[in-house]
A and B are shown apart, each in its own frame.
Chain A
Amino acid sequence: MTSQRLRWELSLLAYLAAGIMFFPIFWLFLTGFKSEGEAIAIPPRLFFTPTLESIQEALTRSDYGLHVINSLISALGSTFLALLLAVPAAYAMAFYPTRRTQGTLLWIISTKMMPPVGVVIPVYLIFRDLRWLDNIWALALMYAVMNLPVVIWTLYAYFREVPHEIMEAARVDGASTRQELLQVLLPVSLPAIASAALLSIILAWNEAFWSLNLTSAQASPLSVYVASFKTAEGLFWAKMSAASMIAVLPVMVMGWLAQRQLVRGLTFGAIK
C-alpha cells in the first residue's frame, strides 16, 4: 500500500518537475500569440484572445525570410557536406580497420574538444582575406567541420554493427568499393544516416558562436537575428517571442525524435 502511494507521489513530482522545466518555453510560445501590450502586462496574462498579429509581423518583415533561408542553407548544406566526408571515412574505419584506426578515430573525436575560441582569430582573419565573411556558404563549411567528428562517430558506431558478411559477399561478386558503399551499405544504413543528419542539423541550427562572429547582415541565420532583440527592454516582446518560436519549434521537434541518437552522438560511446 505504502509503496503504491509513494509511486503516486513520485510520478506527481515528475510531472511537476517537467512542468517547471518546460514553463519558460511554454511562456515563450504563449507570448508569441499575444499583442505587444499583453506581452508585458502585469499581472502576466495566462488567458487572452490569441492573435496571429505578432507572428504575421515577424514573418512578413522582409529580412526574416532571408534569415530563415540562411539558417536552412547553413544547417542543411553543412549536414550534406559533413555526410559526404563522413560516410567514406566511417566506412573505411568500420570495415577495414588497421592498427592506426583507433588512434585516428580518437584524434577525430579530439578535434571536437577544441574550444572554438582557440581557433576563432585565425579563422576570422582567413575568412576576411578570402572575402568569406558574411558568406552563408562559408558558414555552412564551418558548421560541416564543427559537426564532422559527431557525424563520423555516429556512423562509425552504426557501421560496426552491420554484418561484415554482406559486404564481403558483394565484394566476392566483384563489386567495386564504390558500388559496395553506395549499393550495399547505404541502403541498410539509412536509419543511421538519418539520425546523424538530424543531430548535425540540430547542432548547426542552434549554433551561435560562429554565426555571431563570422556573419553580419547578408548571411546571418536566425540565431543572429534573434540575438538582435537583446536590447528589447520591454519593447517588441511579442514579436521577439513570435520570431523565436518559429526558430525554435522545428528543431525542438527534431530533438524529441532524436533523443537517443543525441546521447550516443555527443558522448562518443563513453556511456554504454
Chain B
Amino acid sequence: MVQIHALNQGRRSTLRPNTFWLLAPAITVLVLWTQIPFALTIYFSLRRFNLLNPERQGFVGLTNFASLLSDPVFWTAILNTLVLVGSVLLITVVLGLLLAVLFYQDFPGRSLARTLIISPFFVMPVVSALIWKNMLMHPVHGIFAWIAQSLGQEPIDWLAAYPMQSIVIMVAWQWTPFALLLILTGLQSLSKEQLEAAKIDGANPWQEFRYIIVPHLAQTLSVVVMLETIFLLTIFAEIYASTSGGPGLATTTLPYLIYLKAFGEYRIGAAAAGAVFAVILANIVAIFVLRMIGRNLQGGRT
C-alpha cells in the first residue's frame, strides 16, 4: 500500500510540468501594470510635482496629504462619492430584489422581458449619459420636459436643478440589471419545495418574501452590495459626458476630482495623494469581498 502510494506520488511529480513559466507572463504583466504604478502613485503623492513646472520637483513628505485634507473641495468630493454610491446601492438593491422576485416566476415571454430589462447594463456608459442628458432630461427638447408640460407643470432643468439626483438615476438605471442578474442567480438555488411548503402552511406572498426569500438571499445581497460598491467607486464616464462634475462641484466625485487635478491643473502630487485615498476607500470593501471569494474557493475544492 505504502509503496503504491509512494509510486503514485513519484509518478505525479515527474508528470508535473513546470508551471512557473505558464503563470509567470500573466503575473508579470499584472505586477507591471497594477502594483508598480500604484507604488509610483504613492511616490508621486510624497513629492512636489506640477507638469507645468516639471523642473521644480522634490520630496515634500506628507504636505500633499495635509493640503488635500484641509481642502474643502476634497471633502465635497468624498461626500459626493458616498452619496452617489450609497443612493445607487439603495435603489439598485431594492429594485433588483423586487424585479428578481418578479422574474423568478414563470410567465410567457419571460426570457424576452428579461433580455429587455437587463439591456441597460450593456450600453456604454458614455452613451447612457448622453441619452439621459439629452433625450430624456433636456429642459426644452427632453421627454421629461414634455411630460411635465403636458401635466401643466414647469419643465425642470434636471442637470442644473438636481445634478446629483440625475446622475444617481442614470447610474442606477445601468446597475439595476446587474443587481437583478446576481439576485436571480442567488434565487435559483432556492428550492421550490420550500416555497410550496410555506404556501401549504398558509404563508401569504409577503410572508414568503420576508421570511423565506430575503433570508435565503442574505449572502447574495451582501455580495451585490460589495461588488457594486467597488465598481461604483470608479464611476467616471457618466459624469464626464453629462455634467463634467458641475454645476460648481455638485457632481464632482473623488475619481473626477483626481482627473481634474491631474489633467486639468497638472498638479500631479495633489492628484496622486487623492488617488491614494481612492485606493484605500476601495480596499476597505475589497478586503471583505476577497475574504468571501477565498472562502468559496476553499469550499468548492474537491
- Residues of A at the B interface (CB closer than 8 Å) are 6-7, 10-11, 13-15, 17-19, 21-22, 24-25, 27-28, 31, 40-44, 85-86, 88-89, 91-93, 96, 98, 102, 104-106, 108-111, 113-126, 142, 144-145, 148-149, 152, 160, 168, 171-172, 177, 180, 202, 205-206, 208-209, 212-213, 222-223, 226-227, 229-230, 232-234, 237, 240-241, 244, 247-248, 251-252, 254-256, 259, 262-263, 266-272
Bound together, the chains give a CA A110 to CA B126 distance in angstroms of 26
Q: Mark B100-126, 1 if CB is under 8 A from A, else 0.
A: 001101011110011111111111111
Bound together, the chains give a CA A218 to CA B116 distance in angstroms of 35
Number of A-B contacts (CB under 8 A): 315
Q: Is the CB of A85 within 8 A of B236?
A: no
Q: Mark B127-160, 1 if CB is under 8 A from A, else 0.
A: 1111111111010110101100110000000000
Contacts A125-B268, A267-B223 known; 20 new A-B pairs at CB < 8 A: A14-B113, A17-B113, A21-B177, A22-B117, A104-B27, A118-B38, A119-B34, A144-B29, A145-B33, A208-B125, A213-B259, A222-B124, A230-B241, A240-B130, A256-B118, A256-B119, A259-B181, A270-B293, A271-B182, A271-B219
**Shortest beta-carbon contacts, A-B, top 3:** A255-B122, A11-B107, A208-B237
Q: How far is the CB of B54 from the nearest CB of chain A, in Å?
A: 10
Asked if B300 is at the interface (CB within 8 A of a chain A CB), the reply is: yes
Q: Is the CB of A28 within 8 A of B30?
A: no
Bound together, the chains give a CA A113 to CA B123 distance in angstroms of 22
Contact residue among A6, A144, A255 (Cβ-Cβ distance under 8 Å from B119): A255
Which residues of chain B are within 8 angstroms of A41 by Cβ–Cβ distance? 141
Which residues of chain A are within 8 angstroms of B22 by Cβ–Cβ distance? 88-89, 91-92, 177
Q: Is the CB of A43 within 8 A of B19?
A: no
Interface positions, chain B 1-54, Cβ under 8 Å from A, are 15-19, 21-23, 25-27, 29-30, 33-38, 40-41, 44
Whether A226 contacts B130 in the complex (CB less than 8 A), given A98-B19, A120-B262, A270-B292, comes out as: yes
Which residues of chain B are within 8 angstroms of A145 by Cβ–Cβ distance? 29-30, 33-34
Q: Is the CB of A177 within 8 A of B26?
A: no
Q: Is the CB of A14 within 8 A of B103?
A: yes
Q: Is the CB of A113 within 8 A of B286?
A: yes
Asked if B275 is at the interface (CB within 8 A of a chain A CB), the reply is: yes
Q: Is the CB of A89 within 8 A of B25?
A: yes
Q: Is the CB of B126 within 8 A of A106?
A: no
Which residues of chain A are within 8 angstroms of B149 by Cβ–Cβ distance? 42
Which residues of chain A are within 8 angstroms of B78 by Cβ–Cβ distance? none
Which residues of chain A are within 8 angstroms of B143 by Cβ–Cβ distance? 27, 44
Which residues of chain A are within 8 angstroms of B233 by Cβ–Cβ distance? 115
Q: Is the CB of A148 within 8 A of B26?
A: yes
Whether A119 contacts B38 in the complex (CB less than 8 A), given A14-B102, A91-B22, comes out as: yes
Whether A117 contacts B26 in the complex (CB less than 8 A), given A111-B34, A234-B140, A268-B293, comes out as: no
Whether A18 contacts B113 in the complex (CB less than 8 A), given A113-B283, A206-B125, comes out as: yes
Q: How far is the CB of B256 from the nearest CB of chain A, in Å?
A: 9
Asked if B176 is at the interface (CB within 8 A of a chain A CB), the reply is: yes
Q: Is the CB of A114 within 8 A of B125?
A: no
Asked if B185 is at the interface (CB within 8 A of a chain A CB), the reply is: yes
Which residues of chain A are within 8 angstroms of B262 by Cβ–Cβ distance? 120-121, 124
Asked if B171 is at the interface (CB within 8 A of a chain A CB), the reply is: no
Give the size of the chain B interface in residues (CB under 8 angstroms): 113
Q: Is the CB of B278 within 8 A of A115?
A: yes
Bound together, the chains give a CA A13 to CA B282 distance in angstroms of 37
Q: How far is the CB of A267 from the nearest CB of chain B, in Å?
A: 6
Q: Is the CB of A10 within 8 A of B105?
A: yes
Which residues of chain B are within 8 angstroms of A13 by Cβ–Cβ distance? 102
Whether A209 contacts B236 in the complex (CB less than 8 A), given A96-B19, A114-B279, A177-B17, comes out as: yes
Which residues of chain A are within 8 angstroms of B27 by Cβ–Cβ distance? 89, 104, 108
Q: Is the CB of B123 within 8 A of A88?
A: no
Bound together, the chains give a CA A104 to CA B20 distance in angstroms of 12
Asked if B99 is at the interface (CB within 8 A of a chain A CB), the reply is: yes
Contact residue among B120, B141, B220 (Cβ-Cβ distance under 8 Å from A24): B120
Bound together, the chains give a CA A14 to CA B141 distance in angstroms of 29
Q: Is the CB of A248 within 8 A of B127?
A: yes
Asked if B246 is at the interface (CB within 8 A of a chain A CB), the reply is: no
What are 18 A-B interface contacts by the 8 Å CB criterion? A7-B105, A11-B107, A24-B131, A27-B136, A92-B22, A104-B27, A106-B294, A113-B289, A114-B279, A142-B33, A145-B29, A206-B122, A208-B126, A230-B130, A248-B127, A252-B122, A259-B118, A269-B297
